[in-house]
Structure 1
Amino acid sequence: MLKKGTKLYSILTGRCPKCQEESMYENPNPYVLPDVLKIKDRCSNCNLKYRLEPSFFYGSMYVSYAVGIAFAVAAFVISYLFLGTSLKIAFISIVGTLIVFGPIIMRLSRNIWINMFVSYDKEVSKS
């Protein structure tokens, strides 16, 4: 499923979208909160500049909204529909889900955003 060379691979692993050889983030663990959004300047393998323009990742805020809604809907469906909890408990599960998965949502959004503009290049990844 997660095959190198696909957008899904780059999005879910946080790897360089062009060569998919290294993580874009200084610290690959999203739960080290001071480092959650610290991104490298360039890929050491293919030299792709991650910030394609100043304030490039501001656009990922729109993606973050959609990803957050997807996580919230999933939490609601699991807690209210599958587990049969009350609406109050379902709301608490939504809030808890967004807090616990917040760092992952932020990184996923950035990964999706940059992958919208940069495609995998198999020739670059071989070098």
Structure 2
Amino acid sequence: MSDVSKSQAVLNGLCPQCRKGKIFRKPFYSLTGFDDMYEHCPHCGLRYEIEPGYFIGSMYVSYAFSGGLALVLGFILFYFFGDPDGWVYVGVIAPAMLLIAPVNFRMSRVVWLHFVAGIKYKKGL
């Protein structure tokens, strides 16, 4: 059995230390509980929230994801739809932000854990 790569672990929301345990209890499309995280990795026991308020920093990652999506949608509207009125931009971009909110929330925390936390992968855990 081959080990899970870092990119696979990030996309699947797996623990940065063992790359086997899930970070979230429910899938992102769950209407209730999409934000419900395990306190510790169910496989290796790693504590995800290292200190109180640790995930406040993941808001910067979330902001980058949202800003990137808004820019892409804005460019698409501008170049492919002939620069429509301002209300069209708002009418397209605002609902898109709401639709990606659960995925954005989860991915920003996963990226924060994997790339900022300094947690090292321990092969064989």
- Smaller-chain TM-score bracket: 0.7 to 0.9
Query: Is the 1:5–1:120 Cα contact (8 Å) retained in structure 2?
Result: no
Whole-angstrom distance in 1 between the partners of 2:84 and 2:58: 33
- Secondary structure of 1:35's aligned partner: coil
Quote the offset at 1:67 in angstroms: 1.2
2: CA distance, partners of 1:35 / 1:77? 33
Q: Match for residue 122 of structure 1?
A: 123
Residues 39-58 of structure 1 aligned to structure 2 (within 5 Å) = 39-58=37-56
Question: Residues of 1 paired with 2:120 and 2:94: CA distance?
Answer: 34
- Give 2:97's aligned amino acid: L
Equivalent residues of 1:33, 1:103 under 8 A apart: no
**Which residue in the other structure is 2:5 paired with?**
5
Cα shift at 1:85: 5.3
Residue in 1 that maps onto 2:16: 17
What TM-score, normalized to structure 2?
0.83
Equivalent residues, number: 120
Identity between Structure 1 and Structure 2 (%): 28
Q: Which residue of 1 aligns with 2:112?
A: 113
Q: Is the 8 A contact 1:18 1:120 kept in 2?
A: yes
List gaps (5 residues or longer) in structure 2.
none
- Counterpart code for 2:61: V
Task: In structure 2, give the amino acid aligned to 1:94.
Answer: I
DSSP 3-state at the match of 2:111: helix
Code of the aligned partner of 1:86: P
TM-score, scaled relative to structure 1:
0.82
User: Gaps (5+ residues) in structure 1?
Assistant: none
